[in-house]
Amino acid sequence: MARAKKVIDWVELSDSFQKGVIVSVKVVVGNNTSTKTGLKITNLNKKTMTVMEVDRTNKKNIFRKFLRTDIVQIEGFELTLRKDVLPRKEESDWGSIGQGRYQRRAYSNHSKGWSSNAPQYR
């Protein structure tokens, strides 16, 4: 019994959509339409796209991730998402940039051998 292959239908992006390009994303929820401008593409995969918004007043980076299948229309550098689809939102403070999620303890061989502070040297 052969399985039917699931057909994924998405809008084909042109070669001008690469990391670092500034785009606008239009979201339609109910009867309301909202457009975010000045979003920078930070990650572009086969299935997903991640854009970044810089909030200078609150010193935060806001990342919005959505599936490429949710893109309905492309006009220039403005992407329109399907109705009632909101991108997943993650925020990071500017102070946390470059820090890992886990802190490693520093490992040192400094006091493993003979030490000038050993009892026989006092």
pLDDT in tens, 3-31: 655 555 667 777 888 888 999 999 999 89
pLDDT in tens, 61-71: 999 999 988 98
Contact 66, 87 (CB under 8 A): yes
Q: Where are the alpha helices (H) located in 1-122, listed in sequence order?
A: none
Q: What is the pLDDT of residue 63?
A: 93
Q: What is the pLDDT of residue 25?
A: 92
Q: What is the pLDDT of residue 23?
A: 92
pLDDT in tens, 75-117: 888 999 989 888 888 888 877 666 555 555 555 555 555 555 6
Q: What is the mean pLDDT of the chain?
A: 79
**Buried/exposed code over 33-50 (b: 16+ C-beta within 10 A; e: otherwise):** eeeeeebebeeeeeeebb
Q: How far apart are CA 16 and CA 77, in angstroms?
A: 9
Q: How far apart are CA 75 and CA 45, in angstroms?
A: 20
pTM reported for the whole predicted model: 0.66
Q: pLDDT-derived band of residue 122, with 50, 70 and 90 as boundaries?
A: low
